[in-house]
Chains A and B, each alone.
Chain A
Amino acid sequence: GAGVSQSPRYKVAKRGQDVALRCDPISGHVSLFWYQQALGQGPEFLTYFQNEAQLDKSGLPSDRFFAERPEGSVSTLKIQRTQQEDSAVYLCASTLGRVMRPQHFGDGTRLSIL
């Protein structure tokens, strides 16, 4: 497809399990972002990549959160030892240029931690 694709769309995990969320950005887009959106709130910045380089990870809530984009295309957000407060929608966005403004969002992964 032509847009940003995220998988899975829904993920249910038990507290303490590890999860991995995938983002396929628009082909050729240099910048990739991960955001966390809690119910009733706006998206909160987690991390930013320019090609394969993670230039900003200041929004990652704890060292349980890890993101990578090894070949400058697909990105994975991994959460280890999940906790209930990790329940949220995780949004990925990409932008053609080297700017920190998200242009095209995927439809997100809704993560529920039981």
Chain B
Amino acid sequence: TQLLEQSPQFLSIQEGENLTVYCNSSSVFSSLQWYRQEPGEGPVLLVTVVTGGEVKKLKRLTFQFGDARKDSSLHITAAQPGDTGLYLCAGAFRTNAGKSTFGDGTTLTVKP
């Protein structure tokens, strides 16, 4: 059973467009992380959210944690080709001893 669902699986947009990707679960997260992974490299941690309703901004990226701590979203404003990559969310659940479980990611392609 996949604890964590990411959508969409693939997203292809033009430079300058805005986009939102989602990370959902039926279980409550104790914390959630977003990573970006490029081909041939390991994931790079972007943000950790722990409080329901929390919003964090990282330049053009806005991360939101749902009030009930079952979902999260990543919004990118004015996407650039350098944003291209696999966006992974990873959640820690109290039911799995706090270890992080990853979703299968959203593959984002930003065309110049």
A19-49: which residues lie under 8 A (CB-CB) from chain B? Answer: 35, 40-45, 48
Chain A CB within 8 A of B82 CB: no
Evaluate contact between A41 and B92: CB separation under 8 angstroms: no
A42-B102, A101-B31 as given contacts; A93 in contact with B97, CB under 8 Å: no
**Closest Cβ of chain B: how far from A39's Cβ, in Å?**
11
Is A107 interfacial (CB-CB < 8 Å)?
Answer: yes
The answer to whether the Cβ of B76 comes within 8 Å of any Cβ in the partner chain is: no
Size class of B's contact patch?
20 to 34
Place the interface of chain A in its size category: 20 to 34
Question: Per DSSP, are chain A's interface residues mostly helix, strand or loop, or mixed?
Answer: loop
Q: Is the CB of B40 within 8 A of A107?
A: yes
Which residues of A from 61 to 114 have beta carbons under 8 Å from B?
91, 93, 99-108
Contact A42 B42 (CB under 8 A): no
- Bound state CA distance, A103 and B88, in angstroms? 13
Q: Is the Cβ of B92 less than 8 Å from the Cβ of A101?
A: yes
Residues of A within 8 A of B (CB): 4, 35, 40-45, 48, 56, 91, 93, 99-108
